[in-house]
C-alpha cells in the first residue's frame, strides 16, 4: 500500500479540513484573477460593441470614458467628409441615478448613432434592437428591468424593448442604450422652474443692451425655446465615432485630424489603451498585489501544514530508516502528501468558485489560461511546501526509533 495514502487515512479528519481551508484560499486567488478579467472585459465591451475604428473627441482630452468631452453635433458631417472615412455618427455616454418603482436606479446611458447604429452589435439575450428614433431603450439585465416595462426618465417615458447581458460600464453600472437624441434629452433634462428662470435671465441680459431695447422682438425671442435662438448651440455629444473605408490606412486618416485645432483623434486600439490605463489601472495593480500576497500566504500555510504533519510522524520515519527504508521512500512519502493536498485543494477551490462566483455583484471571468497558470503555481507551491518537511525528515536518525 502507498505510504502517503495510508498516512492520510490515519489522520483523515485533519487532512480533509486542512485541504478545504487551502482550497478556499485558492478559490479567493482564482476570484481575484477573475475579477480583474471581468473588470477589463466590462471596460472594453462598449468600445468594441459600437464597432468604431476612430474616436474623435474634444481637443486634449482622452475620450468620453476617461473625462468629460463635449463636441458639437455638426462635427459628424465634418468627419464624414474626411478621405478614408466610410461613415461617422455621434456617441453619447453619461451616468445617471433616478427613482424607479420606489428604488434607486443607477445606470450608464449610451446614445447610439441612429439610424446607422440600432444596437445590432450589443449582446442581446432577449428582445430586439431599436426600431424607432424615440422612446425605446435596451437595458442590461443587471438593472432589473423586464421586456415591455416602461421607465420614466425626465419628462419622457421609455419602453424596454431589449435585454443585454454583461453590458456594464467600467464602474460596474448596468448600461441602458437609447438613440443619441434621447440620450441627450435625458442628460440635459431640467425642471420646469429651472427653464423658466433661465428664460427670464436671458430676457434680462437682452434688455440691458441697446439692441434689446430697440428691438422688442429680441426680448420676445429670448423668452422662447433655446432651440429657436440661433446664437445658442444645440446639445453637445460626447464623441464622434467613425468607421474606415475598406483599404484605408488608419495612420494616414489620423494625420488628417492633426491640423484640426478643436478635436483629437484616436484609433480604436488607442482609445482602449487610454481606457484601461485611466479607469482600471489602479484597480488592476491593487488586485494583482492581493493575488500575489494570497499566493505567498497559501505557500506558507501549506509549508507549515506539511511540516507539522512531518513532526507528527518523526518516530515512524525513524523506524522506517531503522528497518532499511531509503531516503527516496521518505521523500516520496512527504512529497506525495503535499501534491495530493495541493491537487485536492485546487479541485475544492474550483468547484466552490463555480458555485459562488455567479453570486458576486460584478462579473468574475475565470479563463482556461488562468486556470492552467494557477494549476502550475499550485504544483510549484506543493513542491516547495514539502521541502521544509523533507529537510526535517532527513535530519531524523534511525536510533531515534529506540530512543
Sign of CA dihedral 265, 271, 275, 278: negative
- Residue by residue, DSSP assigns 176-188 as EEEEHHHHHHHHT
Which three cell numbers, joined as nine digits, stand for 43?
A: 471596460
Lowest average pLDDT, out of 70-84, 207-221, 313-327, goes to: 207-221
Tell me the three cell numbers of residue 223.
423668452
Q: Over the range 173-184, which residues count as b (16 or more CB within 10 Å of their CB) and which as e? A: bbbbbbbbbbbb
Which cell is 109 given? 446611458
> What are 35-67's pLDDT values in tens digits?
888 888 887 888 887 888 999 999 888 878 777
pLDDT tens readout for residues 178-215: 998 899 889 887 776 765 676 666 667 666 666 555 66
DSSP character at residue 81 = T
Residue ranges of domains in the chain: 3-43+281-402
Of 195-209, 222-236, 251-265, 336-350, minimum mean pLDDT range: 222-236
Q: Which residues make Cβ contacts (< 8 Å) with residue 255, sequence separation at least 6? A: none
Question: Can you tell me the distance from the alpha carbon of 123 to that of 192, in angstroms, rounded to the nearest whole number?
Answer: 37
By C-alpha distance, which of 239, 94, 237 is closest to 175?
94
Global confidence as pTM: 0.74
Amino acid at each position: 500500500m502507498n505510504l502517503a495514502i495510508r498516512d492520510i487515512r490515519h489522520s483523515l479528519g485533519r487532512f480533509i479540513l486542512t485541504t478545504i481551508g487551502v482550497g478556499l484560499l485558492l478559490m479567493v486567488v482564482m476570484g481575484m484573477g477573475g475579477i480583474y478579467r471581468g473588470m477589463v472585459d466590462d471596460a472594453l465591451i462598449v468600445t468594441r460593441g459600437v464597432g468604431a475604428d476612430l474616436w474623435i473627441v474634444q481637443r486634449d482630452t482622452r475620450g468620453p470614458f476617461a473625462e468629460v468631452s463635449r463636441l458639437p453635433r455638426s462635427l459628424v458631417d465634418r468627419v464624414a467628409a474626411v478621405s478614408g472615412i466610410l461613415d461617422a455618427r455621434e456617441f453619447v455616454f453619461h451616468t445617471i441615478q433616478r427613482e424607479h418603482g420606489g428604488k434607486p436606479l443607477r445606470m450608464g446611458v449610451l446614445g447610439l448613432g441612429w439610424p446607422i447604429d440600432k444596437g445590432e452589435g450589443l449582446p442581446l439575450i432577449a428582445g430586439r434592437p431599436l426600431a424607432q428614433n424615440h422612446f425605446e431603450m435596451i437595458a442590461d439585465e443587471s438593472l432589473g428591468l423586464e421586456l415591455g416595462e416602461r421607465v420614466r426618465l425626465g419628462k419622457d417615458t421609455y419602453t424596454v424593448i431589449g435585454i443585454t447581458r454583461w453590458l456594464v460600464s467600467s464602474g460596474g453600472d448596468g448600461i441602458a442604450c437609447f438613440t443619441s437624441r434621447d440620450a441627450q434629452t435625458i442628460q440635459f433634462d431640467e425642471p420646469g422652474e429651472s427653464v423658466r428662470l433661465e428664460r427670464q435671465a436671458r430676457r434680462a441680459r437682452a434688455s440691458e443692451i441697446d439692441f434689446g431695447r430697440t428691438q422688442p422682438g429680441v426680448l420676445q425671442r429670448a423668452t422662447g425655446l433655446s432651440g429657436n435662438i440661433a446664437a445658442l448651440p444645440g446639445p453637445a455629444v460626447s464623441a464622434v465615432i467613425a468607421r474606415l473605408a475598406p483599404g484605408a490606412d488608419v495612420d494616414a486618416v489620423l494625420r488628417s485630424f492633426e491640423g484640426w485645432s478643436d478635436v483629437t483623434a484616436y484609433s480604436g486600439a488607442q482609445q482602449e489603451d487610454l481606457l484601461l490605463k485611466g479607469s482600471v489601472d489602479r484597480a488592476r495593480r491593487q488586485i494583482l498585489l492581493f493575488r500575489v500576497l494570497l499566493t505567498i500566504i497559501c505557500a506558507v500555510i501549506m509549508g507549515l501544514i506539511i511540516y507539522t504533519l512531518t513532526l507528527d510522524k518523526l518516530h515512524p520515519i525513524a523506524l522506517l530508516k531503522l528497518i532499511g527504508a531509503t531516503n527516496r521512500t521518505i521523500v516520496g512519502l512527504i512529497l506525495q502528501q503535499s501534491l495530493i493536498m495541493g491537487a485536492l485543494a485546487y479541485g475544492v477551490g474550483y468547484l466552490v468558485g463555480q458555485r459562488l462566483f455567479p453570486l458576486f455583484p460584478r462579473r468574475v471571468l475565470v479563463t482556461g489560461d488562468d486556470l492552467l497558470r494557477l494549476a502550475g503555481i499550485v504544483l510549484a507551491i506543493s513542491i516547495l511546501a514539502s521541502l521544509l518537511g523533507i529537510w526535517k525528515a532527513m535530519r531524523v536518525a534511525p536510533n531515534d526509533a529506540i530512543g
